[in-house]
Structure 1
Amino acid sequence: MTDWVRETLHRDYAQALRVEKMLYDSKTEHQRLKVFENGTFGRVLTLDDVVQTTEGDNFIYHEMMTHVPILAHGAAKRVLIIGGGDGGMAREVLRHKSVEHVTMVEIDAGVVDFSKRYLPMLSQGAFDDTRLTLVIDDGAAFMRATQDKFDVIIVDSTDPIGPGEVLFTDTFYGHAKRALTPSGILVTQNGVPFMQGDELTNTMRAFKALFADWRCYLATIPTYAGGPMAFGWGTDGDAGAVSVEVLADRFAAAGIETAYYTPEVHKGAFALPGYVKRLMP
């Protein structure tokens, strides 16, 4: 399988993607980055051989981590993205003209640099938007030190290994809550519950102690194998109760075209199957 990249994130399960052409393969200070062409998914980005995003299906992940909290909030002006060096998350946030400022904190400048060169279809010019401030820093350190307040915080982290591990701690979540406005919303990437149940349980246990409204929602992303992916949701506001009719009005007013997100999918994503419900603390 010399022309395949095999992902070994899980102990008992692996997926592999065919490499039609290797475009980039280099080790940065923090991790090994690869970008290659695949016939089904287009350009694929891996960190230490774990799939991070693809040209083909990134829209599902990025739409569900951005439009769900922003449209639920209804008046988000300031957004913080932790991670997201490929620019896809910033791309979707900045589609909301009502968002006045986005701060993006990425630990690895190398990810940003090569994403601009090899994955420009993900950022689609987001790095040039005057509303975006890019900060190269450790996300946990930034969250601990910041005095700014945000309406929405999106934690677009890698899995809880290596540089991303500190972004799954109770301390980090506590600092994130402090950086939210009173009705602000925190959303997090929490892996595939069927394969990474402890990851979701631990985050939900922290959210339960921090937020009046804590839960998770789901989306199915083909290259995040093993079942639907979970996203953590925490807020002290009432955004979780917004109706599908209100969401539809806000979605129409935003004038955004999406390939996965709809107001109905938004509401339905919070309906959890039994095995995921049992992971709730």
Structure 2
Amino acid sequence: MTDMTGWSVERLHADHAQALRADRVLYDSETAHQRLRVIENPTFGRILTLDGVVQTTEGDNFIYHEMMSHVPILAHGAARRVLIVGGGDGGMAKTVLTHAAVEHVTMVEIDAGVVDFSKEYLPMLSEGAFDDPRLELVIADGAAFMRETGGGYDVIIVDSTDPIGPGEVLFTDSFYGHARRALAPGGVLVTQNGVPFMQGDELTNTMRAFKALFSDWTCYLATIPTYAGGPMAFGWGTDGEARQVDLETLKKRFAAADIATDYYTPEVHLGAFALPPYVARLMP
């Protein structure tokens, strides 16, 4: 057996593991909800794990955050109010807030400990987003908030962990139903749905719920190096026409937004919805 001393080993899947060298452990503490660790790796920089599973890294977080935020916001074209469920590291909030046209962002995070230690140990992810006056931080259970909110959101981003532990409730049909009700007319819901090659049932179950709820439902893909097993899927649901936006319109909106990106482009946006057959077969 290989000596794994000094490595962080993720065993999210029963028959597959990935290991990341941990040159330094900067933080290791268990809250009431989960075990939080921050390690340093020579390739990915600082890495946040929850219960041993990689959540985000200094090196490749931009792919995840750009694709979960810019795709629905630029497809919508007039998003003013955005709801983020999860995302306690602040990276999603920072990316959403790069859109000057967004007037208000509500971020609902169940664990205040994630926010506190992210400010200290992962400040490069949020880059001051928690101090932006447009951001309203709510420490609460995301499912309960969604059930009770008055809604009116143009975009809802479910930046959840995998459907285990406290994140499990964010993958239920009732949660998605409440999210649909919380959308303004023409609003867009996007969700984190894991790596289809390894977690096909997760995508199928979400898409089955979306099919019953939305007139336009599908998923789109992006490859994030530390989420092992192939490209990650993001669920997409709307009763509007946002997915029918053409390339020239996206280019104009992107230019008007005047934001710097390292992954997202209008061309990548449209191409992300082209699904390989093994993913398309997971659709109900």
* Shared fold (TM-score, shorter chain, > 0.5): yes
| 1:103-156 deviation digits (Å, cap 9, x = unpaired) | 000000000000000000000100000000000000000000111310000000
State the partner residue of 1:273.
Answer: 276
The equivalent of 1:159 in structure 2 is: 162
2:251/2:266 contact within 8 Å kept: yes
Letter in 1 for 2:204: T
1:106 aligns with 2:104: no
Q: What's the C-alpha RMSD, in Å, of the aligned pairs?
A: 0.3
What residue identity is the alignment partner of 1:124?
E
Q: Is the 8 A contact 2:151 2:181 kept in 1?
A: no
Deviations 1:66-107 (A, max 9, x none): 000000000000000000000000000000000000000000
Distance 2:185 2:211 in 1: 17
Partner of 1:207: 210
The whole-number CA distance in structure 1 between the counterparts of 2:99 and 2:91 is 14
Alignment of 1:1-281 (within 5 A): 1-281=4-284
User: Which residue identity lines up with residue 226 of structure 1 in the other structure?
Assistant: G
Distance of 1:261 and 1:276 partners within structure 2: 21
CA distance in structure 1 between the aligned counterparts of 2:207 and 2:197, rounded to whole angstroms: 15
TM-score (norm 1): 1.00
Q: How far, CA to CA, are the matches of 2:166 and 2:181 in structure 1?
A: 22
Structure 2 CA distance, aligned partners of 1:124 and 1:63? 15
**Which amino acid in structure 2 is aligned with residue 32 of structure 1?**
R
SS at match of 2:253: helix
SS of the aligned residue for 1:14 comes to: strand
Q: Deviations over 1:196-216 (max 9, x none)?
A: 000000000000000000000
Q: Deviations over 1:13-56 (max 9, x none)?
A: 00010000000000001000000100000000000000000000
Is contact 2:6-2:23 (8 Å) kept? yes
Q: Secondary structure at the match of 1:9?
A: strand
Structure 1 gap ranges (5+): none
Letter of the 1:104 counterpart = M
Secondary structure in structure 2 of the residue aligned to 1:237:
coil
Task: Give the partner amino acid of 1:108.
Answer: D
Take 1:180 and 1:106, find their aligned partners in 2: how far apart are those partners? 19
Per-residue CA deviations over 1:173-192 (Å, capped at 9, x if unaligned) read: 00000000010000000000
Gaps of 5+ in 2: none
- Residue 2 of structure 1 aligns with an amino acid whose one-letter code is T
Native 8 Å contact 2:223 2:230 kept in 1: yes
List structure 1 runs of 4+ shifted beyond 4 angstroms.
none
Amino acid of the residue matched to residue 139 of structure 2?
I
| Number of aligned residues | 281
What amino acid is the match of 2:96? Answer: V
- TM-score, normalised to structure 2, is 0.99
CA distance in 1, matches of 2:106, 2:81: 8
Provide, for residues 141-172 of structure 1, a one-character-per-residue CA deviation record: whole Å limited to 9, x for no partner: 00001113100000000000000000000000
